[in-house]
Every structure is written in C-alpha cells, then in structure tokens.
Chain A
Amino acid sequence: MATAGIKLHPACRVRREGFGLLFYDARGPRLLFAETGDLIPADFFGTLRGRDEFPEGTSEQQKTVLRKFVGRLLEKGFLREQ
C-alpha cells in the first residue's frame, strides 16, 4: 500500500533539548535522546511529511544523516507511515 508520508506516532511526543531532540513514547514508556543539534525543529514531525522532505536549507550531507535518522525513528515506532 502506498503511503502518503510520515508523522509522529500519536502515542509519542518530542521536544527540543540542548543536545537535539528528546522523543517520548507513552506506550513503553520509553525515551529516545537524539543528538540532532539544530538539524531539525521539534515540531517538524507534527505534520504529515514526505519521506524525503526536510527543512529548507538542509544540505545534501545533512539530508543523508536525516534520512537515516527518520529510518531509525520509523523502525523504533516514534514515527509512522500513513
């Protein structure tokens, strides 16, 4: 089935911390500390995004990093495809 994009799982929340992003999954509960620095804002995954959509001004190298990061978030259930 084709997916429209990715979004934060409804059971998850995310916020900005000094090291980057802190993800919370109420189903565990569990935490994910992501050392993303300023690469991506906390509210980015709050709306439906294309799998290859990144904030304006993201360099190709940063996109490579973020693609892996998004894959990891999907794998761990913090993001979901819909």
Chain B
Amino acid sequence: MSNKYVERGLTSPVNLTWEVSLACNLRCTTCLSSSGEPAHGELTTAEALDLVEQVHQAGVFQINFGGGEPFMRPDFEQILAACHERGIMTCISTNGTLIDAERVERLGRPKGLVAIQVSMDGALPETCDAIRGKGVFKRAVEAIKLLSKSSIPTSINTVLTRQSAAEIPAMYQLARAMGVSLRVSRFRPSGRGADNWEGLRPTPAQLLAFSDWLAQSGDVRTGDSFFSLTSQERQGLGLNLCGAAKLTCCVGPTGNMYPCAFLQTERFKAGSLRELTFQEIWDDSAIYDSFRSLRIHSCEECQRFDQCHGGCPAVAWHLKNDLNGGDPECLERCVTSIADLQGSAAV
C-alpha cells in the first residue's frame, strides 16, 4: 500500500462504515457503541435512501453495515436493495440471531454484492455466551450454517479479548469446518468496551502471541484493525496506517459523520447529514482535515514506524486522551511491556 495517494486525500472514502441503528437484541460486553435501544432521531427511511444515493454519487465502493444489529431496522433490506441497485458492494456485521432461511435466500439474490460477518466471541459456547449472552453461540452457529449453504461470502467475526485469545486457533478451525472464513477484530475501549476494558483487554503476551499466529495465518482477515501488530509476514496484505478520514469514515445512526466507528463522540463529529451533504462533509470537515494531517511524532523514532505510523489514534485517545500519543498496544510497546515485567520479576 502506497501511502502517498492516501495522504494526498481521495475524492471520497473507499468504504464507509454505517451504523444504521443502535437497536440491538443483545447486550455484548465488548460492544463499541453500547447498543441496545435505538438512538433518538435515527435516520428515516427516506433519509437513509437519500444517503445511499449520495454515497453512490460520491463513488464509494463499499458500505459496511453495523450497529446495533442492522436487521433490527425494519427497512434495512430496503436500504440494502438501494445499495445493490447502484452497484455498491455491502458487508453486514450481524449477531446472527435474526438470520433465517428466508432472509438468507433474499440476501443472496444480488450475486456478488453482499458479504456477511456473524459475530462470535469464542470457540466454546461458554466463552462466547459470557460476552454475548446465553444461547447466542448456538444461534450464531445456526446462522452461519444457513449462510454457508448459500453463495454469500460469510465470515465469523471475533473480537480478540483476554477470554477468547486462547481460542482463536480453534475458532479458525471452527470457521473452516463450517466452510466460512475467520475475521478477527481488535477490542477497543469504546462504548461498553470502555466499561469492561480492564477485564477484557488482551494482555501484552496475548497480543504478541496473536501477532505471531496471525503471521502464519494469511487467510485470516483483520479488517486492518491490527496493523499496529502486523508482523513482517503480513506486510502488503493491508494498511500500514490509520485509514480514518483518508480511506474510510463512519456514519452514525442519526446521520452524524465521524472519522471512524470508535470515535463517535461530539468531539469527533465531522458534520451532520441533516445539515450538509456527504460530499461536503468529506471535503470540508475540519475534523477530517485534522486526521489527514495527523502525524504521530512521538513514534517517529520507533524502528516499526513505517509499519504502523503510530497505530490506532482511537485507542490512544480513549486510553491516553491524546490522539498524538501513539497506540498503547502496538507491537513494540507489547514487547517492551513484557520485557519490563520480566525485568521486575527478576529483581
């Protein structure tokens, strides 16, 4: 990935994360947006369809739908259809509990335009259900089995936590056994993830072990969320810098735009689609401009700077209240942290 084009600024995002609703029938402890009840003033169907047209006009290639649980929105399939009519590719992040055979059949009709990620947070029911709720593992597996029989590209999406870290290789095997792929996402201290951060965050040793495992697992996707941990073996498979406001951005349930899904706060609001157009916000937002020119100077001396450019600013913000502070969970800091602990133990 050449950064010069990205840093120069693109005419529109390559992909867009759209959290269509905060409504969710689950209360996962890792949820980045504290989903449950719908947000007050979520976009109407007409507003959502207008946004699809704006995104199409802007030339965005793909919309990644999340929430909340997207299928909680009664008009969600209508929104999807509007995307597909315009040739916009879509990816749906779902908990799987609202997937049935009829829905799979409908979703699979536009060939090659939709992919689905079903969330599961452990290879064992007890691990997954402790995070996502009783019986959710079984329901997610049922959804994945239905999807795997269809033409829809399907993946298990799992968040790496202290509890699930040891089960990631087993999840990989589980995914393979069901004929789907595995995607591992980074746990970030946002939403309920912030409330449960200390209990769920992976240890530096787990992050290091995961980085090593990932290096040997080229077919595992990460949505570029682990570029701060990327080893040499995976260089070239994805980004080596934060893509927020450069390659991607986020639209929240009420039409506010943000740099990414993990920074959906007033401080990082780039604009409202009820006041400005999608293109106007992308082109002119001061927040987006600040992300495009963000340089993590504190990391520039690091030997791995070219591989991660300071890592995830959202994690730095949530943990250190400093966008420029560098990713506290980067590979280099994990190594240093482990070495320091070992040093302490030896004294």
A29 and B5 in contact (CB under 8 A), knowing A13-B87, A13-B89, A17-B11?
Answer: no
Contact of B61 among A13, A16, A19, A33 (CB under 8 A): A13
Inter-chain contacts of A11 with B (CB < 8 A): 89, 112
User: Which residue in B1, B11, B87, B112 is a CB contact (below 8 Å) of A31?
Assistant: B1
Q: How large is the interface on A (under 10, 10 to 19, 20 to 34, 35 or more residues)?
A: 10 to 19
Tell whether B294 is near chain A: CB-to-CB under 8 Å: no
How long is the Cα–Cα vector from A26 to B15 in the complex, in angstroms? Answer: 10
Residues of A within 8 A of B15 (CB): 29
Q: How far is the CB of B140 from chain A (nearest CB, A)?
A: 23
Does chain B have a CB within 8 A of A45? no
Q: Count the B residues whose beta carbon is within 8 Å of the partner chain — how many? A: 17
Are A15 and B59 in contact, with the CB atoms below 8 A? yes
- Asked whether A33 lies within 8 Å of B89 as measured between CB atoms, the reply is no
Q: Which residue of A lies closest to B90 (CB)?
A: A26
Given the complex, which residues of A lie within 8 Å of B11, measured CB to CB?
15-18
Q: Is the interface of B mostly helix, strand, loop or mixed?
A: loop
Contact (Cβ within 8 A) A26 B2: no
Contacts of A54 in B (CB 8 A): none
- CB pair A19 B5 closer than 8 Å: yes
Nearest residue (CB) in B for A33 is B5
Q: Find chain B residues with CB under 8 A from A29 CB.
A: 15, 62
Residue of B1, B2, B62 near A24 (CB, 8 A) is B62
Residues of B within 8 A of A31 (CB): 1, 14, 247
Interface flags for A17-57 (1: CB within 8 Å of B; 0: not) read 11100101010010101000000000000000000000000
Of the candidates A11, A18, A29, the one having the most CB atoms from chain B within 10 angstroms of its own CB is A29
The answer to whether B115 touches A26, judged by C-beta atoms less than 8 angstroms apart, is yes
Question: Which residues of chain B in 98-125 are interfacial with respect to chain A, using CB atoms and an 8 Å cutoff?
Answer: 111-112, 115
A15 to B58, CA, bound (A): 10
Q: Chain B: residues with CB nearer than 8 A to chain A?
A: 1-2, 5, 8, 10-11, 14-15, 59, 61-62, 87, 89, 111-112, 115, 247
- Can you spell out 9 A-B residue pairs with CB atoms less than 8 angstroms apart? A11-B112, A15-B59, A15-B61, A17-B5, A17-B11, A19-B8, A26-B62, A31-B1, A31-B14
The 5 closest A-B pairs by CB, nearest first: A24-B61, A15-B59, A33-B5, A13-B61, A26-B89
